[in-house]
Amino acid sequence: MRPNSLPCIAGLLLTAGLFMPALAGAAEAPDAATLGDRLANAGLSLALDYTGEAAANPSGGLRQGSAYAGQIHAGVDADLERILGLDATVLHAALTQRHGRNLAADAIGNNTSVQEVYGLQNLHLLALTLEKKLLDGRVDMEAGRMVANASFLNGPLYCHFQTNAICGNPVFVNHVSNYTSAPGSSWAGRIKVGLTDTVYAHVGAYEANPRDQSPTGHGLHFSTDGATGVVVPFELGYAPGGQASTQPGHYQVGGWYDSSTYADPLNDAAGRPSVLTGQPGVTERGRWGAFGRFDQVVWRSSANPARTLSVLGVAMASVSGRAVEDRYYALGVVQTGLFEGRDQDTLGFVVTDQQFSDLTLARIAAARASVGSTVAPARHQVMMELAYGMQVTRSVRLSPNLQYIINPDVTGHPFTRDNPQDAVVVGLKFTVDVADILGLAPRHRP
C-alpha cells in the first residue's frame, strides 16, 4: 500500500463512521427491492463502479502501440435532512483510484488523451462537499473539496465518447488555464441561482494548487500551502422548456478567469526559448477565456419516447494571457435507441478542432531547427470519434469506438524532425455498476 493512500482510506472510513446510525436504521427498515432502496430511505445513496478504457493505434502517430487505463469510483451522498434534520442539505463524498497507461503519450505523441480516465493515476479524493438549496431549490450552493468540471463545462452527451477531447469537459480549458478536472480536487465553492424557470446564473471559485495536480497528490492536503491563485468559471444558462420538455436542451455562454501563475509556453526568464535552454518558462500570472456551448434533443420518437436524436456544439477561445492554444470547436450527434428493444443503446459521432497558438508553433520550430529540421508544425489538431454504446445488462455497458486524429501534435515531443502521420485508434470503453450488482444502488427512489 502506498503511504499517500492512507489519508484517503482514513477519510472514507471516517465518512462511513459518521453515518453508521443511518446504516443501522436502514437494516431495520421494512423489506424493499434491494438494500440500496433501504439505504436510500435512510438518506444514503451509494456508488461503486469501474470504468476501463483500452486503445491501440494500428497506424499513425510516432509508433504503433496499445494501452489500458482504468478507474474505480466509490462515493456516497448523504441526505442530511433525513439523517440530521438539516433542511435541503446533502453531504457528497467520493474517491477514485486510477491506473494504467496513456496511449497518446506512449505512442501517438499528442497532447490529448484518447482514454479519458487517464490522469492522476493513484488513489484520490474526488469530492468532500456540503450542498445546500434554498428558496425551493432556486438557489444551489456547494463548498468543500471538489473539481470544477463536476459542475461546469460538462454535459449529458460528452461521455458517450472515450476521447478526452470532449469527455469530462472540453479539453481546451485545461490547456489554457489551471481549471480543475476529476479527480484533482481542491478547495472550492459555487453558487447557482435560477433567475426564471428556464434561465440561471452560475459562478464558482476553485483553488489552483500545483500540489493537488501532482502525481503524488491525493486530495487530502487540507491546507492551502502552495496555492497560486483561483480559477473562477462563470456562465449564464438557458434550458428551453424546462425539465419537463419533451425535447430538452441546454445553452450556456460564459468564461473563466484564472488568477494563478503559469509558465510561459515559449520563453524563459532571459527571453530565450525554454525548450532550448532547459530553463523553466518565465512565470506569468492571470488569463481569461470564453465559451459558448449547447446540447439539444432535435427528434423524439412518438411511438417510443426513449428513442431520441441529440446534437451538441462547443466553441472556446483564449481571451488574454500567453496561451498554448487559441481556440477550440466541437460538434457532435448522439442517437439513443437505434433499434426497437435497444432503448439505451447509443450511436455517436463527435469531431473536435484545437488550434495551436503562435507561441506553441514557435517553440516547436525552435526545437526542430536545433536538430536541423525545417518542417513546419501543424496549427490544427482534429480529433474524431465514432462510438457505439451497448447496454449489455442493467449494470454493464460496452462502448467500442473508432477514433481518427488528423495532425497529432508534438507539443510533448518538440524535437521530432517531422509531423506524425494521422493516427487511427481502435478503442473499447466499458463500465460496470458494481453497486447495482451488489444491490447497493436504489431501484426505487424514496
CA dihedral for 339, 343, 344, 347, sign (positive or negative): positive
Q: What is the pTM of this model?
A: 0.89
pLDDT per residue of the chain (446 residues) written in tens, 0 to 9:
333 333 333 343 333 333 434 434 443 444 445 788 889 888 999 999 999 999 999 999 999 999 999 999 999 999 999 999 999 999 999 999 999 999 999 999 999 999 999 998 889 999 999 999 999 999 999 999 999 999 999 999 999 999 999 999 999 999 999 999 999 999 999 999 999 999 999 999 999 999 888 777 787 878 888 899 999 999 999 998 755 567 789 999 999 999 999 999 999 999 999 999 999 999 999 999 999 999 999 999 888 888 999 999 999 999 999 999 999 999 999 999 988 889 999 999 999 999 999 999 999 999 999 999 999 999 999 999 999 999 999 999 999 999 999 999 999 999 999 999 999 999 999 999 999 999 988 876 55
| Angle, helices 5-18/20-27, rounded to nearest 10 degrees | 50
Long-range contacts at 361-364 (CB < 8 A, ≥ 24 apart):
362/266, 362/273, 363/265, 363/266, 363/273, 363/274, 363/275, 363/411, 363/414, 364/410, 364/411, 364/414
Look at the block and give the residue holding cell 470519434.
385
Residue tagged 496555492 (cell numbers): 227
CA 211 to CA 224: how far, in whole Å? 10
pLDDT tens digits for range 347-396: 999 999 999 999 999 999 999 999 999 999 999 999 999 999 999 999 99
CA 307 – CA 296 distance, rounded (Å): 14
Peptide bond into 3 cis (omega under 30): no
Measured CA angle at 217 (ends 254, 222), to 5 deg: 75
What stretches of 63-134 adopt beta strand conformation (E)? 65-79, 89-100, 123-134
Contacts of 284 (CB under 8 A, 6+ apart): 261, 262, 263, 264, 321, 322
Single-letter residue type at 303: A
Task: Return the residue matching grid coordinates 463527435.
Answer: 350
Considering only CA atoms, which of 405, 344, 294, 350 is closest in space to residue 167?
350
Question: What DSSP designation does 410 have?
Answer: -
Domain ranges across the chain: 5-437
Burial class (CB in 10 A: 0-12, 13-18, 19+), 445: exposed
Domain 5-437 has CATH 3.30.390.10: no
Q: Distance of alpha carbon 124 from its chain centroid, rounded?
A: 15
pLDDT score of 219: 78
Specify whether the CB–CB gap between 127 and 301 falls below 8 A: no
